[in-house]
Structure 1
Amino acid sequence: MLPSSKVGDGGATFLEALFTATSAVCVTGLIVVDTPVYWTGAGHVIILGLIQVGGFGIMSFASLLGVFLARRMGLRSRISTAAETKSVGFGDVRRVLLGVLLITLIVESATAVLLTTRFWLHYGNGVGDAAWLGIFHAVSAFNNAGFALFSDNLIGFVGDPWICLPISAAVIIGGLGFPVLFELRRHYRYPRKWHMTTKLVLSGTLLLLVLGTVFITLVEWSNPATLGALRPGERILAGFFQSVMTRTAGFNSVDLAQLDPVTLLAMDVLMFIGGGPAGTAGGLKITTFGVLFFILYTEISGGTAVNVFGKRLPRSTHRQAISIVLLAVGLVTCATMFLMVTTDFGLDRVLFEVISAFATVGLSTGITAGIPPAGQVVLILVMFAGRLGPVTLASALALRSKPLYYEYPKERPLIG
């Protein structure tokens, strides 16, 4: 809200500042004002800092500062950070944090160098401006934020693979999740040693990227407002780019408001699924979707236990996956109904906006700024809940667990 963060006289309003700050720290990317025009360089730096802290993890970042400043971590910090980074034990938290920092620096630096070179040599930006553009978009991409320093996001680079592909690579790597990246670094030659999480995330990511690319490209191929005006190679690149961005990144290289409603619905599904756990991606997470798929497959095939890649899933995992989905569906449904009551936008655009907020994606058909203040507050809450996690939020609201020392007799209702 500082006047130095906003272009012109005065500072941003409380709601504008709150919405932007929430979107940045929740690595979402939804905006109510034009980022490159409304905010000054100081505002851009604040947004970038919030993206970096939000993507790294609030507790992880605080614990890392403790490691560097105090050279030690308390038990409470170890427990909180282990939960956030999905560490196996409390003893390896420090090593995990340093590993997260190393991966973050490597990916962001490599992406920034490629983007800076392109902005400098091809688009004629000065070295300083090109470096700033490269760094900002690299950090935004790896953290799956989707904030851009161009008013049309990345529509101006729809046919440029030297911009789209590095950003896509950073988005995919960040969306895999740090546990998967750690295991790939240690056992990339030995797939048999991979944890079930790694196998689910890699296979699910590849499948969803391919299906999303094919579907979006085919449906929008002849749409003159999106892919139809591009050359064949550029159409495939744009289709791939938008499929990648549904992994919770939020950049767009075409005008999403001009997409076919069928494409919007498909992107709703991809955004809702999301990326890998314990990373910069949002959504239900691929592992949750994978567990639900195998539960369904087991039930249809008449199995007695849910087996995934030669391992049996514990029943507690079944309950957790089902709880996450039901809470997520309930949250998205309630927010969508509220926005439909308070706005004049159609179901397809409102649902797209709400799922984008919940999955911390940031893709929008351009209606965010036109939503009334009450609706924007709802989106802020949805972004926060989506980043925190439905089950975590529900557990926090419950305040404490109540252990039961007895069980009721079993009785089975009719299902279906």
Structure 2
Amino acid sequence: MAARLPVLFEDIAIAATRIRGGVVRSPVTHSYWLSQLCGCDVFLKHEQFQFTGSFKERGARNALMSLSEEKKAKGVVAASAGNHALALSWHGKQLGIPVSVLMPTVAPLAKRSKCAKFDANIVVHGDNIGVAKKYAEETAPFSEMTYVNGYDDPEIIAGAGTMGLELVDQAPDADAYDYIMVPCGGAGLLAGVALASKTLRPATRVIGVEPRNCASFTAALEAGEPVPAPTTSTLADGLAVPTVGGNAFEVARAHTDEVVIVEESDVALSVLRLLENEKVIVEGGGATGLAAILPGGPMHKEVQGKRVAVPLCGGNIDVTTLGRVIDRGLAADCRLVRFVAEVSDRAGGIAEVTSLLSEHGASVKDVFHERAWLQSAVDRVQIKFIIECTGPEHSVQVRDAVRAAGVPLLVWGKTVYNADGTARTLGSTTGGPAEPAPFE
């Protein structure tokens, strides 16, 4: 007999009734432009419309309402740097339950202040979530409170699963989606949505989507249990959970059809596509599901002609971070291009290049000079340009025009042109001698 999973479908059904009226039933919209781009019918589930800006409210409210009166009186505690903290603080205020949030030093000041406005007790401790969590579990008075894990508590998973119920109910013409692309961090959302949707619509394929810089669910699948995964900084910071939850892993493994990994450039491009085409601001983690089906994404070819649901899990992105993500998205889209050329250091040297760029419709955004490390001639200078193009084809046209004009091109995008005329990709040693790239 198979072991009983820590969360069952009936737990999600109960959670849906329990939180009804306390969270937004987020709309699902069909995206004409993204459908054209991806080659499939794209349906967006707008969880960024929740009051605190993310799906985390579903699990937070369900967890709080599941407590006994005694535990409600003592209050709850959680370690979080963002969305879970906001959700728990807001619903704790609505339900009259004291909430303490242990936030690491890297937590954005804006999120700290919002939690404080919801009357939560904010304590900044440690360099990461792990240190903050350990402090909460071992230090009074927090150790006497109920700890609410933002992605692994059964009540959290069941609450997240209510999104899956809504998705099934909101499918167009009562037909099931062919695919649901679910961003995966600690695996709580993936577990809940997969359980709900596969129970009601077994033919729907549920795909977990992870950023390459923190593929913790993939690591857990390979090991057969939750294990720490190699983790580096990612634009999908809300998914940066080094080790998936044990409960979430068991449920997600049983109901998820496949897990794919997306690149950082795809995440940035997803944020940009949503901003430009849908006029919505979505954080990196919330846009990761879309990254899987964009051209070049791991699921793009498979979903052609299918109906695909994409939850937009959150919209809490700092303005400064948004600017960086947009720039990276533009770079990935070849609309922001860097190149290095060698020109005369005499009057008019740079003007020749800028005139050439203007003639071919490229706009110069930044220019940088490098004289000290150029050894070829004293009257030459390396110039790094950041230019704006309209896309990949325009970028190639401008590059070819620069080379045709006889301007010595050293770097274009990720391509390095070696002294012997061969080319290589930045970071590689193929295609010629591995010479240091200018400005690399």
Return the TM-score normalized by structure 2: 0.28
More helix by share: 1
Return the TM-score normalized by structure 1: 0.29
Higher relative contact order (CA 8 A, sep 6+): 1
More strand by share: 2
